[in-house]
Amino acid sequence: MKADLRMVAILTLTWVLGSVAQAAPLGSWDFYGHATSGGVQSGEPDINVDGLQLPGWVGAWGTLPAANTSATQRQGTSGPYTFTFNVGGAVVISAWTAGGEDALRRDYYYINNPARYSGPVPWRISGLTLGKAYDIILFGRGPSPAQVTIPGHDAGNGVDNPVTLDSEGDANFTGVVADGEGQINGFYDTPSGTSASVCGVQFAEGVAPPSPEAMVLIVR
């Protein structure tokens, strides 16, 4: 019995420590605002002091081009990976550029419910290894009413429920497992009568949560 308890403790401790020691990003994307705005992020984010940290990115980020007020998806590559926002052109997206901020957060897509869309905006990371776990940041502008979900994943509030955003408006996910097509799919939404902004994305290799059996402690 004691041996079983020690094994459970080792499995649990390994998962907890693994979720803290983050790997360097595998992919990074910066969203444009207006087509003439520029301001593409390079290197490490200038503003990312709260929530998940994925240090170690070097060089330019992949870009998603300026959006407009038509129902069309936006897509960009970062190495062998592709990020798609508004998969299938399901809703209307727009973009804007603010002043006085770093290159990452000054350009963003904004989601205005119901003025410019109805329903959640689907997004996708593709080119992943099926069955492998990843950590993901969707950078926002806080405080934010955004509701970001990954179907089938528990981000700390129950399966399929929105993740709790950090103070910068970022959605931080850990241990998300790529599906059989090497993809992670999610949704970006806001409550009716509100608007929110999404500025970019980073992801890194993560650690999958342990099975329920590994988390059960036998109390004698």
State pLDDT tens for residues 46-85: 888 899 999 999 889 999 988 766 678 899 999 999 999 9
Q: Percentage of the chain surpassing pLDDT 70?
A: 78
CB 90 within 8 A of CB 22: no
C-alpha distances in Å from residue 92, one per residue of 36, 148, 218: 20, 17, 52
pLDDT of residue 216: 46
pLDDT score, position 212: 52
What pLDDT does 7 receive?
Answer: 40
Residue spans of the domains in the chain: they are 2-215
Q: Would you say residue 165 has pLDDT above 70?
A: yes
Averaged pLDDT of the chain: 82
Q: Determine the length of the chain.
A: 220
Calpha distance 163→173 (Å, rounded): 8
What pLDDT score was predicted for residue 61? 93
CB distance 124 to 76 below 8 Å: no
At residue 116's C-alpha, the angle toward residues 31 and 65, to 5°, is 20
When pLDDT is averaged across residues 78-96 and rounded to a whole number, the result is 90
Average pLDDT on 179-198 reads: 93
Q: Which residue has the tokens 């905006």?
A: 121
Residue 8 is predicted with a pLDDT of 39
Q: What CATH number is given for 2-215 in this structure?
A: 2.60.120.430
Return d(Cα 97, Cα 36) in angstroms, integer.
Answer: 10
26 pLDDT band, cuts 50/70/90, is: very high
pLDDT of 158 strictly over 80: yes
Compare 133 and 69 and report the one with higher pLDDT.
Answer: 133
pLDDT of residue 6: 43
Distances (CA, A) of 55 to 21, 45, 51, 102, 190: 10, 9, 12, 17, 29
- How high is the pLDDT of residue 102? 79
Instruction: Select the more confidently predicted residue: 212 or 83.
Output: 83
